[in-house]
Structure 1
Amino acid sequence: MDYKIPEKMKALVLFGPNDVRLVEKPVPKPGPGEVLVRVAACGICGTDVKIITKGMPKMPPYGEFTFGHEWAGTVVAVGDTVDEFKVGDRVAIEAHKGCGRCENCIDGKYTACLNYGRLDKGHRAAGMTVDGGFAEYAVQHVNSVYKIPDNISFNEATYVTTAGCALYAIDKSGGYIAGDTVLVIGPGPIGLSVVQGARALGAEKIILMGTREDRLAKGRKLGATHTINIREVADPVAEVMALTDGKGAERVFECGGNSQAFEYGIKSTKKGGVMVLVSFYKEPVTANLDYVVMNQISLLTVRGEGNQNCKRALSLMAQGKIDAKPIMTHAFPLEEFHKGLDYFVNRKDGAMKVVINP
Structure 2
Amino acid sequence: MSRPDGVPAAMRAAVLYGAGDLRVVDRPVPEPRAEEVLVRVAMCGICGTDLKILDGGFPQTPPYGDYIPGHEWTGTVVAGGSAVDELGPGDRVCIEAHHGCGRCGNCLTGKYTACLNYGDAGRGHRASGMTANGGFAEYAIHHVGALYRLPDTVTVEDAVLLTTAGTGLYGLDTAGAYVAGQDVVVFGPGPVGLMTAQVCKRMGAAQVILVGTRRSRLGLGAGLGADRTVDATETDPVRAVLDLTAGQGADLVIEASGGPDVPEQCGRAVKRGGKILFLAFYPDAVRLDLSAVIRKDVTMYTARGEGGDNVRRAVALAAAGMIRGGELITHRFALEDIGEAFRVVRERDGEPLKVVVVP
Q: Same fold (TM over 0.5)?
A: yes
**Separation in 1, partners of 2:222, 2:157:** 23
**Separation in 1, partners of 2:324, 2:88:** 28
Q: Which amino acid aligns with 2:329?
A: M
Cα offset, 1:348, TM superposition: 2.5
The more displaced of 336-345 and 202-211 is 336-345
> Does the residue aligned with 2:148 lie in a helix, a strand or coil?
strand
Matches within 5 A, 1:200-215: 200-215=202-217
- Scaled by the length of structure 1, the TM-score of the pair is 0.97
Q: Which amino acid aligns with 2:217?
A: R
Task: Label 1:175 to 1:156 Cα distance change in 2 as closer, same or farther (>3 A).
Answer: closer
Aligned position for 1:306: 307
Q: Residue 160 of structure 2 contacts residue 325 of structure 2 at CA under 8 Å; is this kept in 1? A: no
- Scaled by the length of structure 2, the TM-score of the pair is 0.97
> Does the residue aligned with 1:349 lie in a helix, a strand or coil?
coil
Return the match for 2:158 from 150, 156, 160. Answer: 156
Aligned position for 1:255: 256
**Separation in 2, partners of 1:303, 1:275:** 15
Return the match for 1:127 from 125, 129, 144. Answer: 129
String of CA shifts for 1:191-232, please: whole Å, max 9, x gaps. 111110111111011111111111111111111111111111
Matches within 5 A, 1:279-298: 279-298=280-299
Q: Which amino acid aligns with 1:54?
A: G
Aligned position for 1:331: 332
Cα offset, 1:297, TM superposition: 0.8
Q: Which amino acid aligns with 1:4?
A: G
Q: Residue 260 of structure 2 contacts residue 283 of structure 2 at CA under 8 Å; is this kept in 1? A: no
Aligned position for 1:75: 77
Q: Residue 34 of structure 1 contacts residue 141 of structure 1 at CA under 8 Å; is this kept in 2? A: yes
Q: Residue 335 of structure 2 contacts residue 357 of structure 2 at CA under 8 Å; is this kept in 1? A: yes
Cα offset, 1:294, TM superposition: 0.8
Percent identity over the alignment is: 48
Cα offset, 1:109, TM superposition: 0.5
**Separation in 2, partners of 1:255, 1:114:** 25
- The reply to whether residue 190 of structure 1 matches residue 179 of structure 2 is no
Q: Residue 169 of structure 1 contacts residue 253 of structure 1 at CA under 8 Å; is this kept in 2? A: no
**Separation in 2, partners of 1:274, 1:78:** 43
Cα RMSD, aligned residues only: 1.1
Q: Residue 155 of structure 1 contacts residue 355 of structure 1 at CA under 8 Å; is this kept in 2? A: no
String of CA shifts for 1:159-215, please: whole Å, max 9, x gaps. 111111111122222142110100000111111111101111110111111111111
Aligned length in residues: 356
Matches within 5 A, 1:83-94: 83-94=85-96
Matches within 5 A, 1:30-49: 30-49=32-51
Aligned position for 2:141: 139
Cα offset, 1:46, TM superposition: 1.0
**Separation in 1, partners of 2:188, 2:5:** 43
> Does the residue aligned with 1:85 lie in a helix, a strand or coil?
coil
String of CA shifts for 1:305-344, please: whole Å, max 9, x gaps. 1111111111111111111122012211101111222222
Q: Which amino acid aligns with 1:267?
A: R
Q: Residue 110 of structure 1 contacts residue 306 of structure 1 at CA under 8 Å; is this kept in 2? A: yes
Cα offset, 1:54, TM superposition: 2.5
Cα offset, 1:349, TM superposition: 2.4
**Separation in 1, partners of 2:251, 2:156:** 36
Cα offset, 1:351, TM superposition: 1.5
Aligned position for 1:15: 17
> Does the residue aligned with 1:259 lie in a helix, a strand or coil?
coil
